[in-house]
Structure 1
């Protein structure tokens, strides 16, 4: 293809974008943001620097102990940093907040491996390496993230301008097919719109010049962690079971952990059941028919948190919990805030009716009402329901149809992207939710 065959407007667009791309790629990134700086420096600091504080111990500590510890710390740093980077690819995720829990879990796993295989190691060196790793990666992650906002250029055709209501990035609306602003990381366009010839040439030029071009819905999904479905042809959820292999492996984990949890917590759960019955008349457990994977119905177990006989199970409004709900008992308010009321669902997990993570199962009357009010509602039942989920850690408890629709979009995102890394992120966010009481009613 020659310059003449491209047409004047396309040629100017391509040449303009090329100039901007060349300039942007030649600009050096801040050193602190580079993996080649963050990881090697973190390895040296965490694995080697603690040795300087052991000068008085090296004479009595064998060399294998020191070497084993340094290797263990290095492995923990590598795995922790990799996990941190993977988790950071998900929307609404601030990596700096994940540094402590991620590295804590990884270092504890390495320590457990040392104990299981009876490897000799220096506890002082190991703990100091852990502290240094957390401090270093928290610092560089914060320095990289602080004040950083990504800017994207928007082609003002079709529905692309609707992306401006997403506050997670800055948007530069293009008035004409001119050079891409130097600060922009890519171009957002409505790829389903009938683009005028000059804009079509501009977008083509961006693609040929290596500039990222995003469909506005793809960009919205990436930044918000929500997936909206407006037409059947857009559905990528219901044609087959997503990530079936991963779900089968996760089922093994569910069975082992649920069985272990029931055995370990049997006595505390029995004591709590007695406290609930003492606090207010009625059974300790609350059972309710809810919807599981495939639209099937199952009986879900929870600790009772409301006064017995105050709800009509056939009324969808009674199935909703409102702020300051007078039906909640004294002990029930604490159980809801701490999520302890959900622990009996380990029985549902063991039976295969639920998983630890997935869309929350809704009561039958509520699910029927949502099905009538919300488009494509049943697609959330493609995966097993969970004790916690992506919607819960992002939005909490909601009841209004508009809020439920927003929450449903989080469920769609989870169904599409279900994976080990997303589940790990949900676990971390759930811990934060339990500590803060976010979304509890």
Structure 2
């Protein structure tokens, strides 16, 4: 949230009052009479501060000239130097360092030239005055460094927010792909079965069962899509990720008369958290989706083995294999999920063995994902993990 800056004239007005009143009292205390030309010079320094946002360098040079004018008139040391000090700090902080240091050097040189007219004031206070100017410049340098560091922190924070937004979009796109691709593939298969039954087998019970499966799959898919898209609402509650206990249901939806899927639920150690379980579920889901859509397989197996060191996920089939096809969004999404957890994903031949393998079956494909145990799991972030 941005903060509103103070009006431009506030600072000059305050300094003008301080310089006029302070110089008047200082002169009265010393028994000095202020010449008429002192008033314009006392107002010139604060007035030049109106340039601080557009021309900070010339502002510093003008303030130095006004301060020298006050010295030439013999005004008491002190109040009239305030606007000059502020101008130096603002010029350095704004990045006009050479203007500021040049104005300070010019003020110092001019002070030495005016030393004979200052009635002993400069000889008494000159070294202190010059030291004061250097201290003011160093304060300006500190302010500049602080301002640059604050700007760098803001840039880093903004970059971090953009990175988080990009990560969230990537996770959302990956989850939508996984859910929609799987759901539409299952509905397509079930619709094909229904059409086949309608054309070849007039059995109403079988046709009703196939249509019921389509309805059930579409309802389940709609619910999953709603869960994924709910992260776009800032007021939506955090929805739990997918659990390994849901894998048998997933396998059951994929299995059919044309495709048998073998799966044995694993024992789940305590270290396997929501991130790991969601990743394993989505990997199995996408791998089974690819089998249904592309493999032309009749047999598949899902193996999930988890010990105290890692989780090993394998999904294999006896289909046509990957061949020379490029890696698509599904495989890329699986690889990204595994890499986010520090693991790896490999592709190889199915190697299901001869048992119950149809004649002329292809080499198949085996997807192997290895996810190591996290020793110090961080707090779960919904924007990073999706649903």
- Normalized against structure 1, the TM-score is what? 0.21
Which structure has the larger Rg over C-alpha atoms?
Answer: 2
- Normalized against structure 2, the TM-score is what? 0.24
Could you say which structure has the higher helix fraction?
2
